[in-house]
Every structure is written in structure tokens, then in C-alpha cells.
Structure 1
């Protein structure tokens, strides 16, 4: 039993009401939810939300009826991990069947494709980590071209190496964590207290599918990329 999960809050500071805002004629929520509902390897889907309109919308499309998210998990300071734990536990009570994987898609990453879910699942079942987390190679590197000010305001490389780095290719590889797809072991989800307690390995996505919508600028870029994809 593989459970698919979507977490969507009512509030959003960067882009007001973004999770249910129309993106090319579909709510942003549906760009992720429809992938899970149509995916042949996902057995059931749950949407965790504090928003009645989004909850009713998801239930009408066939998600599990777990009710609205508890208030303490609906603030802008609520972490992802306890939200996942609550949804996992509430769904387990309805399903009555042991889960083999918990798959989460962030609604803010609508450029991912169904094949990304497949590849992340394949990696999870081949490597047996506690969690597979989607990443992309970072455009900026703290060993080379990310800088931070000291107490005087002077800039320095964020993570200097003893011999320095004069070319990006010399710097250690670092990844950006993106919300494309997470695959989590149910036993790890029940017992750990945060994402990084156990063995978390990356599923690498290309940059053109790894943009997260956190601002109006991001929305404009993602919308343009989706239009281009649809016209290709």
C-alpha cells in the first residue's frame, strides 16, 4: 500500500491564496493532486489542509476523508514532519492496511512529472533509505560563490576551504532541496522527529522541473514554462 499525500495551508504570505489559485485554468493544487490520483502505483491519496474549500474539492476528486488539519498544524510555523505524521496516522485508521511508502508532493512544485514519482519510488525500493528527497544541483555554491558578511560588513565565502576554490568545478557538489517528490518509509515517519534524523538520499531532478513557487516572480516563470511545455 503506497499512500500519496498533499499538504496545503489556507494562508500564504508570498503569493496570497496561491495553493488554490488558477494556473492555466487549473487550481495549483490540482497540478500535483492529479498526478497522485492518476498514478498507477499510488493506492490511496490524502490531502491535509485547514481550508474547507480545498478539502471539499479534494474529497470530491476521491481523496481520503480525514477531516481538516488540527489548528496547531495549520500555522505558518508548523513544520512539514508533524503534518505528515498526522496525515499518515489518520489515513492508516481508514485504510486498515500496512503502508509500504508515503509519497508527498509539494503543490508549489508543479513542474514535476509523473515519471519523477516513478523514479523516486524505484530509488526508494532499490536503496531502502529512510527517505528519498528530490533535489537539484545548486546554481550557487557556498564553497565558491555564496558569500556572507562578517561583523564588520565585509564579505567572505560562506564555507571557505583551506586551499580556496578558484573555479566552480573545483567546489564540492551541493544540492538545492526542492519540493518535487518525497518518498518516506512509514516506520521512519512514525518514529523520527524530523526529516533528517535518518538516512535521507537525493533523487536528482533537472532544474527545469525543480522550481518552487514562493513569489509572484516564481509564479510568472512557472506559468511561462508550463505554457511552453503544453505548446511543444
Structure 2
């Protein structure tokens, strides 16, 4: 008899957004923003539980209506705009395990403000996590600016300079090392690695590449308009 992995999807969404108040339950394409992430996770068929963590009961109610199976009350000290995300994910996992009475082997976290991922993206990240010598997986899109070519910093002397340099000058963007923008869409860990890593970066971290059109992170009213437009385009494909 084979061993079956237990897998949980977590979505951590706090209520105190400053840029767009109430953004996690704001309607986009006919659904609250958080519902899109819940539904994509459910569509994969990969998860034994789907846990949503929030300090806001309105968010938890919207998640439950979309199909979340476990609701977690997020502590106030983990719900400030300065609170790091990994402790909140760990808290969500621990509470989900207590409610489900099971220890999960893998955790996949979806950011509620990055709703354009597809079920295929989530499945591909889980497949990558299963590859040898992999502790966790993050997602990113090809960067618009390169630190080796056209991304600059201002020095202590007030002079602009390239953020990173190589032994030879880079005269074409195509000649620079490949760089990515983290899109905060999908994170995946083996449980042991989640509870021992204090950063998403480690010696065995992998990156799954997503296209720019599925990598918009909602942080402004304009982002909602862009997401609605791109969702409409996805539905036509």
C-alpha cells in the first residue's frame, strides 16, 4: 500500500488594507477577490483541506461561502501591515491540523491578492515541490528591469549606479543574467521546511515561472480594473 501525502492549501488575508480598504472582499468579475483563490485551489483536487486565516470575520465568511473548509482566526499581532507572512502561515497550518486532526505533509499558500493564477500553475508548483532536493517553491514572472542593465540605485554620494555589476559590461538586456519579479502568487513547502525556514529563500528553493499576465498583485483600484480585464480575457480562451 502506497503512502498518500496529506496536503493543505492556506490563504492568509488580513482585513486592514490601507491602499484599498476591504480589498479582499471587494467584488471583481462577480466574486469577492478572495473567492477566486479559494475556487482555483478547490478546482485542482489536490488538497485535503483548504484553510483561510484572517482577523476579519467578513473575509472568513466570504471564504466559507466560496468553499473554504477550515476557518482560522488570525491573531491581531499577526495581522498588522508590518507582520511577516511566514509566522501567519505556520499559525494557520497548526490551527488547521488541530481542527482536522491530521498532520499535513505539504503546504501550498495562495496570496488572495494574486487571483490570476490558473489551476495548472498550482499543479505545476506541487509537481516541482516533489522533485528531489527541493525544500520549497516560489513563483515569479520575468522582470521588467534588470539590476545588471537598467535598474539603478542612488549611492551615498547621490550618484545613480547599476544595482549589480558583472566583470564585463552588459550592453544589451538580453545578455544580462535572467531575473524575475516575485509575484507573491503561490508558495509551497514541505511541512518540516516551512517550520524551520525563516525566509522563502534557502539552498533548496526552486522558482516556478509564470507569465506577466497571470502575475498582477492587487494593491490599488487600478489593479482591480486590470485584473477584471485579464480575467475576462482568460475566460475567452
Question: Shared fold (TM-score greater than 0.5)?
Answer: yes
Picking from 206, 209, 213, the partner of 1:204 is 209
Q: Which secondary structure does the structure 2 equivalent of 1:121 belong to?
A: helix
1:33 counterpart SS class: helix
Q: What are the equivalent positions in structure 2 for 1:20-59 lying under 5 Å apart? A: 20-59=25-64
On the 8 A contact 1:192/1:198 being kept in 2, the answer is no
Counterpart position of 1:82: 87
1:164 aligns with 2:193: no
Q: Identify the match of residue 114 of structure 2 among 102, 109, 113.
A: 109
Query: How many correspondences in the alignment?
Result: 232
Quick check: 121-130 or 41-50, which moved more? 121-130
Correspondence 1:175 to 2:174:
no
User: Deviation string for 1:32-65 (max 9, x for gaps)?
Assistant: 0111123211111000100011112323444344
Instruction: Specify the SS of the correspondent of 1:208.
Output: helix
Change (3 A) 1:62 1:231: closer
Evaluate the alpha carbon distance shift between residue 220 and residue 165 of structure 1 in structure 2; reply closer, same or farther with a 3 A threshold. same
Identify unmatched segments of 5+ residues in structure 1: none
Q: Assess, with a 3 A threshold, how the Cα gap between structure 1 residues 65 and 169 changes in structure 2: closer, same or farther.
A: closer
Residue 231 of structure 1: CA displacement? Answer: 3.5
Q: Deviations over 1:120-160 (max 9, x none)?
A: 11111123511111111111100001012223433211112
- 2:68 and 2:236 mapped to 1: Cα distance? 31
In 2: Cα distance, 1:66 partner to 1:18 partner? 19
Greater mean alpha carbon deviation, residues 71-80 or residues 215-224: 215-224
Contact 1:64 1:91 in 2 (8 A): no
Q: What is the match of residue 144 of structure 1? A: 149
2:220 to 211, 215, 222: 215
Q: CA deviation at 1:228?
A: 2.2
2-structure distance, mates of 1:100, 1:26: 31
SS at match of 2:138: strand
Aligned partner (choices 8, 16, 19) of residue 3 of structure 1: 8
Name 2:198's counterpart in structure 1.
193
Q: Extract unaligned runs of 5+ from structure 2.
A: 1-5
SS in 1 for 2:93: helix
